[in-house]
Amino acid sequence: FRELGIRAPDRYLGAGSGTQAEQTARIMLAFEPVVAEEAPDAVVVVGDVTSTVACGLVAAKAGALLAHVEAGLRSRDWTMPEEVNRVVVDRLADYLLAPSPDAVENLRAEGYREDQIHLVGNVMIDTLFANRERALAAGTLAELGLAPGGYGLVTLHRPANVDSPQSLAPLISALTKVSGELPLILPAHPRAAAALRELVTTDRIRLIPPAGYLDFVALQAGARIVLTDSGGVQEETTALGVPCVTLRDNTERPITVTEGTNILAGRDPARIVEIAQRVLADPPAPRRPALWDGRAGERIAEVLLSGGTAATRLRPTDLA
């Protein structure tokens, strides 16, 4: 909050860690009294994390209007907890605030009414553009002894990639080969740090502690290539014009492939190496989707202020 100049939250739910069910239950128990006390006209939930679905359930049961930012994204991978969260929250929501045309098409295909669907752009890009210059001026690369374009950046945190050595070891093998082309910087996610320290055996892959937001934006902007399993990084690299190779078999952000700088490589080591080498030799031209212009928040505010009340709007299961 301090780093981005955001004031402290008025309420802190303090749910802590645990299983999906434990976290969901704790968040709901903590959020329900807040909704009862504040009686909000609308509740806005963002993304696809556990708090998104937990707070969405509480808001819907309380009768408040529910707005889902990043509505309509689909990976088509039902093993991902995030995919379940997306589908559940979209079903509960009065306002489906989609970041891209593919998300709009997903929502239409699933039968949502046109009055629920709003193409607003990407709020993550709002944050990125608002802080990009400050991030670039922070001296992050110099502190790490890096030069722009002189390294690749890696992030790994998806359970399917890091929770077992059988999944992680082949990825590290591929990254080791890529590091022969240029050194790689890997901020170690806490869930993977111990395994990474054991599996990374070359000094061409440099493990560093997790980076703060501004530092990480600087690392992305200065990288010659980014290899990641993160959905948000796929979006940020597209906005920054940096080549991205996604180490997943699917993506809920296909617009970063069709209208951005992202290539979906999967998890086969040989394919990862081949694609990375190709990108390094012939990087994609920078391009950015429409409405990724830093003004998504303004469009969302307009939707909420002009959309009516719970008493005057059709609700999620009403028929037009």
Q: Catalytic residue numbers?
A: 157
Q: Tell me if residue 7 falls in helix, strand or coil.
A: coil
33 to 13, 45, 60, 99: CA distances (angstroms):
10, 17, 14, 31
Amino acid at 117: I
DSSP states along 151-178: -EEEE---HHHHSSHHHHHHHHHHHHHH
Give the whole-angstrom CA distance, residue 83 versus residue 70.
Answer: 12
Asked if 277 and 54 count as a contact pair (C-beta separation under 8 A), the reply is no
Q: Phi and psi (nearest 5°) for 113? A: -70, 150
DSSP states along 276-295: HHHHHHSPPPP---TT-SS-
Residue in 248, 229, 227, 172 with CA at minimum distance from that of residue 204: 172
Residue in 220, 46, 69 with CA at minimum distance from that of residue 132: 220
The two three-digit tokens of residue 75, written as one number: 């990976």
